[in-house]
Amino acid sequence: MKFFIGCDHGGYSVKSKVIQILESLGNEVKDLGTHSNQSVDYPDYAHKVCKSILSTPGSNGILICGTGIGMSITANRYKGIRAALCTDSYTASITKQHNNSNVLCFGQRVVGMGVIEDMLRAWCKSEFEAGRHQARVEKIENIT
Ligand code: RB5
């Protein structure tokens, strides 16, 4: 799978390890920053990742900030983006199966590296089940 990854200063410390895990699982990862611990605004990185996903069919995203909340709020403003804020491998797996999420968000100040790795593995190996979930996902997109 092709991934775009972005973080703010609150997610920077785990970003390189996340990239390493994703690549070890056979994925291609493009790092859209941030590239240091210096304070930045998380929406800037959520916008970069979401725009890249929408212009690259079939791609996915990872967004990391302190809590994951600001990233997920921003990403879910985009039609066609389904960003899931997760704290465990169960929700990471189910959100791919049921919501066809294309962005995984989490907070570096909330979950440790072991949980992050479990979530990445769960999310990568899970597949959208379609069926009854297809119409539900379409109803998300059909907001008026
Ligand atoms: C930055 O301090 C923090 O607000 C940000 O990383 C994130 O948690 C926002 O939702």
Hey, where are the domains in the chain?
A: 2-141
Q: What is the model's pLDDT at position 62?
A: 99
Q: How many residues would you count in the chain?
A: 144
Looking at the CA of residue 67, tell me the nearest atom of ligand 1: 8
Judge whether 86 counts as a catalytic residue: no
Q: Which among 65, 86, 105, 124 is annotated as catalytic?
A: 65
Pocket test for ligand 1, best of 37, 41, 42 (most atoms within 8 A of CB): 42
Q: What is the model's pLDDT at position 143?
A: 84
> Would the annotation count 8 as a binding residue?
yes
Structure-block tokens of residue 81: 């983006």
Q: What is the model's pLDDT at position 21?
A: 98
Q: What is the model's pLDDT at position 113?
A: 98
Q: What is the model's pLDDT at position 144?
A: 80
Looking at the CA of residue 70, tell me the nearest atom of ligand 1: 10
pLDDT tens, position by position, 85-105: 999 999 999 999 999 999 999
Q: What is the model's pLDDT at position 92?
A: 98
Q: What percent of the chain has pLDDT over 70?
A: 100
Regions of the chain short of the pLDDT cut 70: none
Q: What is the model's pLDDT at position 19?
A: 98
How are strands ordered across the β-sheet holding 28-31? 28-31, 2-7, 60-65, 103-107, 83-85
**3.20.20.70, 3.40.190.10, 3.40.1400.10, 3.90.420.10: CATH of 2-141:** 3.40.1400.10
Q: Using DSSP, state whether 130 is helix, strand or coil.
A: coil
Ligand 1 centroid distance, CA of 131 (Å): 36
Per the CB < 8 A criterion, the answer to whether 10 and 45 are in contact is no
> Would the annotation count 44 as a binding residue?
no
